Structure 1
Amino acid sequence: MYLIKKSALLIAVVFTLLYSSCAAALPKQLIVTGSSTWEPFSFINSEGEPDGIMVDFWKLYGEKNHVEIKFQLMNWPASIALASTDTTVIHGGLGYTSNRAKYLYFSRELPLQKYDVYLFAKRELNDTALSHLSDLKVGSVTASVKDEFLTTRLPSESIRRYDTFGGLNEAAYRGDIDVFIDDLNTTLYGLYKNDRQGTFTPRKKLYSFSIHFAVSRQNARQMPAIEKGLENITDKEVDALYHKWFDDIPGLEESAVQGSKLKWPLISVSILFIAVVSIIPMVLRRKSQDLKNALKALATSSAKLEQVTQLDRLTGTLNRDAFYNVLNEKRFSPSPYSIAVLDLDNLGQLNAECGHQVGDIAIKHLISQLRGQLSSKAVIARLGGGEFAILFDYCDRNLAIKRIDKLRRSLPSIPLSLNQQVLPLSFCYSFAHYPEDGDEGSALVNTALKRMRQHKAERVNNLSAGIDGHRHLDTELPW
């Protein structure tokens, strides 16, 4: 019997190793899709051939890993649809969004430059605040990250959508649109190449996003092997790709010349400044010291003001608005994260029976335990009363749930001792996860709050019925 079990175990191990090696084998051919008009990232050139930074990157990948690379470039929505349905095709470069993650499996960040997305507007326009864009003609590319960004901020009818990046650019050059958002470098490249310098100018940086490749969710098993091949590409080789495309942009040389013409006036001013300093060194040093002291005092005052406006006065954690600001910066995060919301049990009763001062002490005791047991990277905020939110960044949902549940279980063993009385504390909690539950910070907090309050109500009912109210949350709520 023992030999049979041992043989079965050995067969299972061998099968697993063989399966893993097959799953991890790099394919001999990759079909890469992407935009046919996203110049200079990926496009069809005048000779009818695939071209651009992404094309060069995957050609380099093929050379480094001895893989045949073929390209199928098309309009942007079609390229995403192809990669999501055809298991033989990968999308060569795009940004992560929770909507795309429903049908695409994303790689880790590619060693390509992040896209710094700016708002571009006609030179003659003055007011280009996001809140006023609904009065203007705003252009966007269908199914792009930028389109998702605009959709959350503008009425859909205010946005004119185009199936290709080239179509968007042509609409801008014709004057059909007043405003669009796109990557700074690629837009400037297009303006230079099409001799449209100055027609549209960058006004404000909106956000950044990294570039990933993606496969259909049915083809996720192939992802590790393809990712492994990225390790054979060096940063120096990637830098050379960008130099090839951006170093010879017409107009940059003129900027360099203009910069050199400014050197002599700057040198003259520097010489004059040195002469003045040599004549009145004592006065200048005294004024300089006064200025440094004033700047230091101003910086201290600014830091204190920022703390007052961002921190909760009782606990020293972030307040609600500051926490939402943190989440806003993660609007298009390429990495998943979790938000826990917890509520201190019986705080209202404690305030009523012992006074609000005791309730405040209980809140600070809870925060002390949170800080002691959670990672320093966890961002804690007080939402109000006894409700708190915690951001677990770069942390998968299962690990985040385990950390909070461990804290909940250990809290009764560290009771609050006050006036020779022991006050055992407990809390109720729930989660919302990005991107499964959405990609907007305040909405994720509201989802977690709703789940937590629902669970708390169920727990009260269970306790009234004599049922244990502290069952595992992951068996109660449909996460």
Structure 2
Amino acid sequence: MYRFLLLALVVWLPVTFAASESKRETLVIANSKAWKPFSFINQKGEPDGILVDYWREYSRVTGTPVRFLLLDWEESLQAVNDGRADVHSGLLWSLSRDEFLDYSQPIMTIDTQLFVSRDLLNVDMVELLSGKHPFLLGVVQGGFEHSFVKRNYPQINTVAYSNNAEMISAAFDGDIDAFVADLQVANFYFSTTQGTHQFSGVQHLYSGVLRPAVAEGNNALLLQLARGIAKINTEAKHRIFSRWMYIETVYPNYLVPTLSALAIIAIFSYLVLLRMTVRAKTRELELANRELKHLSETDQLTGLGNRYHFYSQFTQRVTRADTVCVMLLDIDDFKQINDTYGHQVGDAVIQAVGAKIKHIVEKHHLTGRIGGEEFAVVCSDFTVEQAKRLADTLCDSIRRLVIFDDGSKVTISLGCAYYLRSNQEISLSHADNLMYQAKANGKNQWNFKLIDGMPAKSTTPKSDSINSREIS
């Protein structure tokens, strides 16, 4: 009898598992229909490209069906935002996109360059990019390069196209004098289109990491993607990238005519060229410094300020306000989360908590991830009621996050120190002590303390008792 039951169980379990797998919902993956070689519709009318192959591999290793929705670039972003698509297969992070998207793990790095017609090769790049030499620059509407050019070179006349294919076709037809494109994209078109020698890559603009993205707040899907991406091994990635990266690099093909010209010019012309080069490098250095400053101040996992940026801003924030509210919050039992679900899921939890803090706390306040699973918030000119309300909202909202398939909840312990005077010594110590008291009292709660810093001649500072409230 027992053997019969055991045999039935052995047969039933795989069948049940297979049935549950077959019921997995299809993931709709969005991207551009003309972003060769990353994503495009081929001559057979089928989705193709690096990112299409990547997500097909994701489907293979996870058993999750996928369907591709390839559109013009800007519409592909909107498709994720309005729910027509579940995932954007890969794009760069930007502040404007971070308003409505949450990002997953990196896929690959891309390099973006400025390509100009051979008629402009003799023009000084500083003069060209300053707008003193009029020309038409092509960009993809809604693409990262579009916002990059508008932000860094607002004086340049741009023409926006729906996708890369239309833009590069316009360049080859002579409708525009230059365009901005990823090096891999330009190489693909240069190698597969006749008569493309009239354009050359003359300046590297930026490098970035392609990451998949989902609609903001979809933490369950972020967790699902993190688990699936972790199953795609290095060999599979190399096979996918190698299939599409066979094209011969053409950067920078302007060097040969440039070096030939330098060989015959006079010393005076050489000095002029040297001066132009110094100016161009200075401009590049300024742009690089701005990008490095942003990167050095930002926690890459959550998009909040990092520990360095938080502490560098802390002193001036707490000394120029009448009242200061300092909060310290820590994810409860985070080590257990890592041990139970793995570090990929742990990162997804940190991302979700960081996104929730970013959504709730207004931008003009100071926020930061100051430790592995520890976050801090500083609010100036807050009332006591506002401080308590914010502490309660943070605890309650994070507890409501839907992340784990088994119904487990993410909770935090929060300490909130409220200072009535900003001329006293303010640090994280009060908030830190309150946070640990919240943990000692059972976690999943916040502690509040009012600290009235009196003038130096006063004998006894006043403070109210600790107000601890548990979110049930």
TM-score, scaled relative to structure 1: 0.51
Report if aligned partners of 2:111, 2:204 keep a CA contact under 8 Å in 1. Answer: yes
Report if aligned partners of 1:337, 1:394 keep a CA contact under 8 Å in 2. Answer: no
The structure 1 residue matched to 2:52, chosen from 35, 51, 55, is 55
Counterpart residue number, 1:279: none
**Equivalent position amino acid for 1:327 in 2:** K
CA distance in 1, matches of 2:462, 2:186: 57
Percent identical among aligned pairs is 22
Report if aligned partners of 1:171, 1:177 keep a CA contact under 8 Å in 2. Answer: yes
Asked if 1:75 is matched to 2:72, the reply is yes
Post-superposition Cα deviations, 1:9-61, rounded to whole Å, max 9, x if no partner, equal: xxxxxxxxxxxxxxxx9944211111000011000001111100111111111
Structure 1 residues 206, 400: CA separation in 2 closer, same or farther (over 3 Å shift)? farther
CA distance in 2, matches of 1:131, 1:102: 29
Counterpart residue number, 1:228: 227
CA distance in 1, matches of 2:137, 2:156: 10
Unaligned runs of 5+ residues in structure 1 are 1-24, 256-319, 348-389, 403-408, 410-423, 430-458, 472-479
**Equivalent position amino acid for 1:399 in 2:** F
Structure 1 residues 219, 425: CA separation in 2 closer, same or farther (over 3 Å shift)? closer
Asked if 1:115 is matched to 2:110, the reply is yes
Structure 1 residues 102, 344: CA separation in 2 closer, same or farther (over 3 Å shift)? closer
The structure 2 residue matched to 1:45, chosen from 42, 46, 52, is 42
Specify the SS of the correspondent of 1:97. Answer: coil
Report if aligned partners of 2:101, 2:215 keep a CA contact under 8 Å in 1. Answer: yes
Deviation at 1:241, TM superposition (A): 1.2
Counterpart residue number, 1:353: none
Deviation at 1:139, TM superposition (A): 1.2
Higher relative contact order structure (alpha carbons within 8 Å, sequence separation ≥ 6): 1
Report if aligned partners of 1:123, 1:200 keep a CA contact under 8 Å in 2. Answer: yes
CA distance in 2, matches of 1:80, 1:225: 20
Post-superposition Cα deviations, 1:301-328, rounded to whole Å, max 9, x if no partner, equal: xxxxxxxxxxxxxxxxxxx999857415
CA distance in 2, matches of 1:197, 1:71: 31
Report if aligned partners of 2:113, 2:202 keep a CA contact under 8 Å in 1. Answer: yes
CA distance in 1, matches of 2:370, 2:178: 34
CA distance in 2, matches of 1:193, 1:124: 22
**Equivalent position amino acid for 2:375 in 1:** L
**Equivalent position amino acid for 1:119 in 2:** L
Post-superposition Cα deviations, 1:336-360, rounded to whole Å, max 9, x if no partner, equal: 2413325579x9xxxxxxxxxxxxx
Map 1:147-186; keep pairs closer than 5 Å.
147-155=146-154, 158-186=157-185
Counterpart residue number, 1:29: 26
Report if aligned partners of 1:209, 1:334 keep a CA contact under 8 Å in 2. Answer: no
Map 1:258-269; keep pairs closer than 5 Å.
none
Structure 1 residues 139, 35: CA separation in 2 closer, same or farther (over 3 Å shift)? same
Larger C-alpha radius of gyration, 1 or 2? 1
Report if aligned partners of 2:94, 2:144 keep a CA contact under 8 Å in 1. Answer: yes
Counterpart residue number, 2:130: 132
Deviation at 1:198, TM superposition (A): 2.7
**Equivalent position amino acid for 2:26 in 1:** Q
Structure 1 residues 88, 51: CA separation in 2 closer, same or farther (over 3 Å shift)? closer
CA distance in 1, matches of 2:298, 2:168: 24
Structure 1 residues 463, 48: CA separation in 2 closer, same or farther (over 3 Å shift)? farther
CA distance in 1, matches of 2:48, 2:228: 21
Asked if 1:141 is matched to 2:117, the reply is no
CA distance in 1, matches of 2:245, 2:427: 55
Report if aligned partners of 2:304, 2:368 keep a CA contact under 8 Å in 1. Answer: yes
Specify the SS of the correspondent of 1:117. Answer: strand
Specify the SS of the correspondent of 2:125. Answer: coil
Counterpart residue number, 1:399: 375
Structure 1 residues 332, 57: CA separation in 2 closer, same or farther (over 3 Å shift)? farther
CA distance in 2, matches of 1:321, 1:72: 35
CA distance in 2, matches of 1:237, 1:96: 25
Specify the SS of the correspondent of 2:194. Answer: coil
Counterpart residue number, 2:91: 94
Map 1:298-377; keep pairs closer than 5 Å.
326-327=292-293, 335=301, 336-338=303-305, 339-340=309-310, 341-343=313-315
Post-superposition Cα deviations, 1:213-251, rounded to whole Å, max 9, x if no partner, equal: 11112533221012201111111211111221122x378
Counterpart residue number, 2:102: 105
Structure 1 residues 250, 132: CA separation in 2 closer, same or farther (over 3 Å shift)? same
RMSD: 4.4
| Greater alpha carbon shift after TM alignment, 194-203 vs 30-39 | 194-203
CA distance in 2, matches of 1:78, 1:333: 29
Report if aligned partners of 1:118, 1:182 keep a CA contact under 8 Å in 2. Answer: yes
Deviation at 1:141, TM superposition (A): 0.9
Structure 1 residues 26, 241: CA separation in 2 closer, same or farther (over 3 Å shift)? farther
Unaligned runs of 5+ residues in structure 2 are 1-21, 254-285, 320-365, 379-416, 418-422, 429-450, 465-472
CA distance in 1, matches of 2:168, 2:44: 21
Deviation at 1:96, TM superposition (A): 1.2
Q: State the aligned residue count.
A: 286
Specify the SS of the correspondent of 1:226. Answer: helix
**Equivalent position amino acid for 1:67 in 2:** T
Post-superposition Cα deviations, 1:364-408, rounded to whole Å, max 9, x if no partner, equal: xxxxxxxxxxxxxxxxxxxxxxxxxx9978968963559xxxxxx
**Equivalent position amino acid for 1:124 in 2:** D
**Equivalent position amino acid for 1:93 in 2:** G
**Equivalent position amino acid for 1:132 in 2:** S
Map 1:358-437; keep pairs closer than 5 Å.
399-401=375-377, 426=425
Deviation at 1:123, TM superposition (A): 2.3
Deviation at 1:469, TM superposition (A): 12
Post-superposition Cα deviations, 1:41-84, rounded to whole Å, max 9, x if no partner, equal: 00000111110011111111111111211111111111110111
Counterpart residue number, 2:261: none
Report if aligned partners of 1:37, 1:165 keep a CA contact under 8 Å in 2. Answer: yes
